[in-house]
Structure 1
């Protein structure tokens, strides 16, 4: 149902001739959203990156798709080939039945590249989110300390709790950077240039 709603919104923007279509990541996985981005391209809108509408640090950000010069022809051709797409029928480049956002072998590479681009763009928006949370946590820990007193035991407990979350943040940052590097290398190997940081 969610997929049909997103497709209808795309087709409405296409019918209006909107230059940009914004879609929120609401799929179960980033891979499925990349498959959705592939489908969007078949209707005439190419993936561009994070949308200006996307709140910083959101776990479900908006992504922008830019209208292609031949968008009307693409949309008409796709609608003719897949007339039941909005009613649960097959989607362009995707396997029929079951989970509708599973790419066919011929679409796999394009979906992989879209997935890499999306992950690189998404990771850029989350660089400072954990650091801000650590600062807020440190300030929040001052509240119970001010009530119980700044004893050595209270400071040790609060400091230990903060350190635990700091280690988790550092580990998450390490994993995210390694993932971003891997996807970036994949894009470079495919000759895909990424735009400068937009956020």
Structure 2
């Protein structure tokens, strides 16, 4: 299972003393990725936002987890409390059973705050996503135009295609900004300044 592989890789890096662990969102939902971030924190790595490894504007960026000062103690304590976590057993703060990344009531608030941080960070990646396509699309459309001719109808179709993608990009940008404001308010109400300065 991918979750177990990610946790094992994190623990290997932790044993080597890695200060940062980068991972891509591979869970079914962003809320599950926030639950994964909560579990990772129990092993000594705190969610730190977008990774410097992330390509600008990537729809699937890398997220960074920074090693906490007490990481070794946390990992040892968590391993003692949840010895089967890496072999399909219950994860810290999560419900046991088939849906392994569903938080228990005592962990839900922390998972919700992690989810808000992740959503603020992910919404920041939307600004450049699609913009390159809008800039390159006219050049790409020159290829079929060179075959069919630069007639008024063909140019109108190309302009319509470009306008369609421009509207989609603008709509996505609007949704991302709204999402960023909404989750930013959640963090502000909790007294969390995010992203950190």
The question of a shared fold, defined as TM-score above 0.5 by the shorter chain, is answered with yes
Instruction: Find the aligned partners of 2:106 and 2:85 in 1 and give their Cα distance.
Output: 19
Matching residue of 1:113: 113
Q: Deviations over 1:123-180 (max 9, x none)?
A: 2122112111111112211222222222111111111111111111111111111111
Q: TM-score normalized by structure 1? A: 0.94
Instruction: Find the aligned partners of 1:53 and 1:156 in 2 and give their Cα distance.
Output: 40
Q: 5+ unaligned residues in a row in structure 2: which ranges? A: none
Instruction: Find the aligned partners of 2:183 and 2:125 in 1 and give their Cα distance.
Output: 15
Q: 5+ unaligned residues in a row in structure 1: which ranges? A: none
Q: Deviations over 1:27-85 (max 9, x none)?
A: 11111111000000001111101111222233332211111111111111110100000
Matching residue of 2:22: 22
Instruction: Find the aligned partners of 1:196 and 1:18 in 2 and give their Cα distance.
Output: 21
1:40 paired to 2:30:
no
CA RMSD of aligned residues (A): 1.3
Q: Check conservation: 2:56, 2:128, Cα contact below 8 A.
A: no
The number of residues matched between the two structures is 197
Instruction: Find the aligned partners of 1:60 and 1:31 in 2 and give their Cα distance.
Output: 15
Matching residue of 1:146: 146
Q: Check conservation: 2:187, 2:193, Cα contact below 8 A.
A: yes
Matching residue of 2:195: 195
Matching residue of 2:7: 7
Instruction: Find the aligned partners of 1:12 and 1:170 in 2 and give their Cα distance.
Output: 42
Q: TM-score normalized by structure 2? A: 0.95
Q: Check conservation: 1:54, 1:61, Cα contact below 8 A.
A: yes
Which region of structure 1 is more displaced relative to structure 2, 49-58 or 64-73? 49-58
Instruction: Find the aligned partners of 1:63 and 1:184 in 2 and give their Cα distance.
Output: 18
Moved over 6 A (4+): none
Q: Check conservation: 2:58, 2:129, Cα contact below 8 A.
A: no
* 1:80-159 equivalent positions in 2, closer than 5 A: 80-159=80-159
